[in-house]
Structure 1
Amino acid sequence: MLPEVANPLLPTGYDVVWTVVVLALLALAAVAIVQVLRERALSGLGAVVWLLVILALPVLGAVAWFVLRPRRAAGRLPSL
């Protein structure tokens, strides 16, 4: 039986880096989706549009959400 040899054309570090990058991007999209669902300032249609944007373009949609999302008033405390 031959010992298992690592592929010299695709180093192990390459796999690890891409796995971490993909997981980070999935986490970014997941956090954006959760925040859209919890945002009370959005109407139903607004939330659906944001969810479709995030699902269609996970990286750009999530970044757009974090940049363009509705802001709470400065003096108002969030309700629980």
Structure 2
Amino acid sequence: MPRRAHTSAEAVVPGKSDGTGANGSREASPERTWQHLFADVQLHADDYIHARKRLTTMLQVLPEIFPGHDYEPLRARLAQRLR
């Protein structure tokens, strides 16, 4: 049986439309994580543990995948948001 094609909303934002993940948690999906670098949020707060972990991981992995880009401004922004 062929797999059903995902709609663009399903492919981009897994989980429910209310912002919770597939298991009902408020865990930030990768598609919704980058906004936290540019929003006025307290990333050091417990509510943002998943976003904090994803941002840290992405900023470690992306330079390996795309070595020609400068990620220092994003690292500095993350450090500022973690204060």
Q: TM-score range by the shorter chain?
A: 0.3 to 0.5
TM-score, normalising length: structure 1: 0.34
More helix by share: 1
**Greater C-alpha radius of gyration:** 1
Q: Which has the higher contact order (CA 8 A, sep 6+)?
A: 1
